[in-house]
A and B are shown apart, each in its own frame.
Chain A
Amino acid sequence: MQIIVTGTLLGGTYALIALGLTLQYGAARIMNLANGETLVAACFVSFWLFTATGVNPLLGMVVIAPMALVINWLIYAWLLRPLVRRAKNRGMLEVDSILATFGLLFLLQGLMLLGFGGAYFSYRFLAEPFLILGEPYGLNRVVAFVAAVIVASLLYLFLYHTRQGTAVRAVAVDPASARLVAIDVARTAAFAFALGGALTACGGTLLSTFYTFNASMGVIFTMKALIIVIMGGVGDVRGATLAALILGVTETAVASLIDPGLTLAANYALFVLVLLFRPQGILGRASA
């Protein structure tokens, strides 16, 4: 039981890391390699808000998420739209966006190194035991999990039960046809990218309450997010959430029952299995 709870909590953390990238890659078609840097930047902002002004990170999200939305919109408008315009097909856009966001990764990392230096940062927030079925778990992780559930449900409602959300999905499935039904593809893609950035920033804010982080750690998160996004099926929010949970529970089970040293191996074994048997992702549909 403890394994399932710990694993589920970990899955929530992973979902937070990956949901933003799902949107950015799935809908806006931008393979954002600077995803982890966005996350770490949010960690820094919430660290700063908490230690300098005493702002609760959960409240901090109210500031950080809109800020990330605007910044990511600007990044899309200035850096990525020219690439979208000149791309002849999806493959070309993917290659170009990988290169461009690879550069962005270094830019963001450099700025953070400049601003905060390379040291480890961490602070204590809700690092209290919280009892679930008589076993203690970190309250900050529980809070992050609950927030992940809320964020994922809101996102699901938005994507599947609103007009704007349906437009985002339409763009994700087929940008060319979406235009035929009067969807402003450029605007919708920009919105999806910005929303993805905001989600990642929310994830960063929550993660900063229990992770020790520094300016050069973004890559670790990008890697994790990438695995989850591909496992879940590109652009599928439900798939990504499911993949995150499966990954969390598997890792915890392997760590508890076999050996914690094997978590990475289990992680990649699962990834390989999915790629072998469902290359389109757990919930992904085979492309026509």
Chain B
Amino acid sequence: MLRRTFNALAISAALLTVGAGFAAANETLKIGVSASKTGPLTAGATAVYWPNVKLWVHDVNQKGGIKVGDKLLKIDLVEYDDKSGPEEAVKNIQRLATVDKVDFIVAPYTTGINLATAPLISRYGYPQLVATGNANELEAFVKRWPNSFWLLGKASDLSTGIVATLKTLRDKGQIGNKVALAHVAEAFGLEMIQSAKPAFKEAGFDIVYETSYPLGTQDLAPVISGAKAAKPDAFVAYSYPPDSFALTEQARIQGLNVDAFYVGVGGALSGYSQRFGKQVEGVLAMGGINPGDEVYKAYRERHKQVTGQDADYWASPVVYSSLQILEQAIVKAGSTDRAAVVKAISTGTFETVIGKVSLQNNLIGRVWTVGQWNNGVLQGVNGLGVDGAKAPVKKPAWN
């Protein structure tokens, strides 16, 4: 009896192996992805991350697959939810690497989770193309984890972008010298304010009001009335999506009429302009794009068609570009050998929806930092190494 059971087991094991062999013969390219589907990060991931993964898989499979050597491989996507936490993300990556044995991994969503999973992803030798994170001291980070590539720029680039924009406006005589600052009391806001404050001072701006507020609060009337009392010429908030919305609404209600009004993450979402309509005209926000660029326009249309939702004006095209880079690097390497693909990424030049991209020391040289709403689109007004930036203009009063 026992022997029979054993035999049965052995046979099924053998069959399984054969089955696996067949699956391998009927080849696909297995891509693993772990990001937030539940928890506090879901909203952001649903806006800029998941739709682009979906769009990319759709685009690749529709044209027959990725050319690896002489074979055309379709993508087989394995998805996990990291529940918005780094511990879960680490478990997922582990599983993708050891159980699912995926060929490549799409870098997770947000700075924190990318930083947390970098050592593990690096241990398995996968390239990690971070499109939704930024930090300071990235040079040191990529020295330690040479498999990680950062496509959204450094935190200090983002935080000081608005300083340059305000300086341009001041030099044109459109705004005065007084700035009110607010930031969300969380890693992101703190990192931003840290590099922004010295930059404002160096540029000769007078910080007349400065405050922080806790993460998650949407009752921001005191922040706006405090800023209003200080009579600033410009209002700058390093904020997250719900508070970006709430600050804008409060500023409008209380009639905080400044000549430059800037919000952080969330200001580049299409939902932002949908909510505030014509009121967003002239509002500055973190992010930006060259909306006149034909490649971006076509991408935006396809995004809407395939996923049913609008791309944003900042991270969406970057996420899609990170996947395009991965795809083109696999083709260049001609194999699924991870080290070869990492090498191809660090040395190659890639055609993406944000333009021609090549990475120096694993960092991108082309980053949009500030955009300004103009006729329903967020026109990039400041960035590093970007084409098509327009000059910022003074914001009209709320009406």
Show the binding face of B for A, using Cβ within 8 Å: 36-40, 42-43, 45-47, 182, 185, 211-214, 216-223, 225-226, 241-242, 245-246, 249-250, 252-255, 266, 269, 271, 275-277, 309
Contacts and interface: CB of A to CB of B under 8 A. Distances in A.
B250 A261 contact: no
A212 B211 contact: no
Contacts of A110: 38
B226 to A, nearest CB: 6
Contacts of B185: 261
Contact of B271 (A120, A256, A260, A263): A120
Given A2-B225, A252-B222, A260-B220, A122 B245 contact: yes
Given A6-B221, A124-B275, A129-B254, A216 B213 contact: no
A227 to B, nearest CB: 14
B216 A109 contact: no
Interface in A251-287: 251-252, 255-256, 259-261, 263-264
Given A124-B275, A138-B249, A263-B213, A211 B225 contact: no
Contacts of A210: 218, 246, 249
A235 to B, nearest CB: 27
A190 to B, nearest CB: 31
Interface in A74-124: 109-110, 113, 117-120, 122-124
17 contacts: A2-B225, A110-B38, A117-B46, A120-B242, A128-B253, A211-B218, A211-B242, A212-B242, A215-B42, A216-B38, A216-B40, A220-B216, A255-B213, A255-B223, A260-B217, A261-B214, A263-B214
Contacts of B275: 122-124
A4 interface: no
A127 interface: yes
A176 to B, nearest CB: 41
A214 interface: yes
Nearest to A213: B242
Interface string A200-239: 0000000000111111110010000000000000000000
B271 A119 contact: yes
A136 interface: yes
Interface of A: 2-3, 6, 9-10, 13, 109-110, 113, 117-120, 122-124, 127-129, 136-138, 210-217, 220, 251-252, 255-256, 259-261, 263-264
Report, nearest first, the 9 A-B pairs whose CB atoms are least far apart.
Answer: A118-B42, A255-B222, A261-B212, A118-B46, A260-B213, A212-B242, A214-B43, A119-B46, A212-B245
A252 B221 contact: yes
Given A109-B38, A124-B276, 12 more contacts: A6-B221, A10-B219, A119-B47, A119-B309, A120-B245, A127-B252, A127-B253, A136-B254, A138-B249, A212-B245, A260-B211, A261-B213
A256 B226 contact: yes
A117 B49 CA distance: 13
B271 A122 contact: yes
Contacts of A109: 38
B276 A212 contact: no
Contacts of A137: 221, 253
Contact of A6 (B36, B182, B225): B225
Contacts of A217: 40
Contacts of A117: 46
Contacts of A252: 219, 221-222
A129 B222 CA distance: 15
B42 A136 contact: no
B245 A129 contact: no
A122 B179 CA distance: 29
Interface hub of B42, B221, B253, B254 (most chain A Cβ within 10 A): B221
Given A6-B225, A120-B241, A251 B43 contact: no
A210 B252 CA distance: 13
Contacts of B39: 216
B222 A6 contact: yes
Interface hub of B218, B226, B250, B255 (most chain A Cβ within 10 A): B218
A113 B37 contact: yes
A207 to B, nearest CB: 9
B38 A264 contact: no
Contacts of A215: 42
Contacts of B216: 220
Nearest to A109: B38
Contacts of B37: 113, 118
Contact of B253 (A113, A136, A261): A136
A259 B211 contact: yes
Nearest to B47: A119
A214 to B, nearest CB: 4
A138 to B, nearest CB: 5
Contacts of B218: 210-212
Contacts of A10: 219, 221
A2 B221 CA distance: 10
A117 to B, nearest CB: 5
